[in-house]
Structure 1
Amino acid sequence: MQHALVPILGFSAFSGTGKTTLLIRLIPILKHHDLRIGLIKHSHHEFQIDHPGKDSFRLREAGAATVMLISSHRRAIISEISPTREPNLDTELKLLDQSGLDLILVEGFKTEQFPKIELHRSSLNKPLLYPNDQNIIAIATDTVMTLPDNLILLDINDPEMIAKFILKQMMGRL
């Protein structure tokens, strides 16, 4: 990723595997190790960050292509993008203020070229992604499996184990 100024690691899986659930458990562990985490989540669904009746919504409805909301605690940028193109992760990275980050975690963007951990649950009966994605560096799963030598097997239900892998592999710690 040309515009990644800090290490970037993706979590790739079929819907319903538990990407968000794992990240919610993983982020506090990484934060405890003094990492400042950024997160980019790709959604295939329409979403609203502002709501009808709110000033930001009304300003966007009036024709503003981009609206930035700023308070003393946080900021959000709402930009309309062309519905005819899928977002490109490297392009979106240009918009992310990375100056205060140590690591960027990415949920989704599974066809993009950057290091990823594949999440796999045997109960979903979905195929593994790693045979078709050379960017997968580990598999976090709930089952025992034999993997090629270049892949690490992680327990999807053990965020501490996954955090240790990230600290060692991505951050050069431990």
Structure 2
Amino acid sequence: MSNTLHCPFPVLGVAAWSGTGKTTLLEKLLPKLREQGLSVAVIKHAHHQFDVDQPGKDSYKLRSAGAAPMLIASRQRFALMQETPGQEEPDLAYLLTLMAPHAPDLVIVEGFKAWPIPKLVLYRDGIGDPAILSDPWAQAVALSGEPPVALAPSVTRLNLNQHEEIARWVSEWVDQQRRSLA
């Protein structure tokens, strides 16, 4: 894991314990950010084995036969699949380099809690360890109630249930980051 990531675009982690509603929040935020003119890419960490193609399909057969990587494309989409045997955890720095050709305005990283990247931390009362609110990389925290621990003075406090407020903060944060990258 690298201590510093250098990207030509802002990267914002969304960190929370399972069951807090990361994906649900992103489903609400992404259309709002797109309405504001932002192109947003997402990198999602999966804690389990997953497959994007199905047994019996040609892409599955070719990947299983050793194609590395395997890219399947149609008029509507393409998917690049790469086997990573022996890799303990995905390398976020490498995954971010895959986003560079797409020139997004923002890359949201869901999961990857331990990586040293700016974060929007989500916390819902009674789910997970409240110590997540003390992440030194937290730029903002979105909570469903009062914070169970003291928040750093530099951290913006948001209401987890106010999607417009969170989208506005993300948009303003992106603008600030793009100015500092320029």
Q: TM-score when scaled to structure 1?
A: 0.91
Q: Offset at 1:128?
A: 2.9
Task: Name the Cα RMSD after superposition.
Answer: 1.7
Is contact 2:9-2:103 (8 Å) kept?
Answer: no
Match of 1:8 in 2: 11
2:163 equivalent in structure 1: 159
Residue 124 of structure 1 aligns to a residue whose secondary structure is coil
Aligned equivalents of 1:122 and 1:155: distance in 2? 12
Give % identity: 39
**Residues paired across the two proteins, number:** 172
Structure 1 residue 167: deviation in Å? 1.3
Correspondence for 1:91: 94
Compared with structure 1, are the counterparts of its residues 58 and 3 closer, same or farther at alpha carbon in structure 2 (3 Å cutoff)? farther
Match in the other structure for 1:149: 153
Q: Report the Cα offset of residue 97 of structure 1.
A: 4.4
Q: CA deviation at 1:53?
A: 0.6
Q: Are the aligned partners of 1:3 and 1:93 in contact in 2 as well (CA < 8 Å)?
A: no
Q: In 1, Cα distance between the equivalents of 2:85 and 2:61?
A: 20
| Structure 1: runs of 5+ lacking an equivalent | none
Q: Is the 8 A contact 1:117 1:140 kept in 2?
A: yes
Q: How many Å apart are 1:3 and its aligned residue? A: 4.8
Distance 1:126 1:143 in 2: 15
The corresponding residue for 2:141 is 139
1:47 aligns with 2:22: no
- Post-superposition, which runs of at least 4 consecutive aligned residues in structure 1 deviate over 4 A? none
Normalised to the residue count of structure 2, the TM-score between the two structures is 0.88
Deviation for aligned residue 1:83: 3.6
- Structure having the larger proportion of residues in helix: 2
Looking at structure 2, the residues matched to 125 and 72 of structure 1 have their Cα atoms a distance apart, in angstroms, of 42
For residues 89-144 of structure 1, what are the alpha-carbon distances to aligned partners after superposition, in whole Å with 9 as ceiling and x for unaligned? 1111122244341111110001001100111001325323132x211111101012
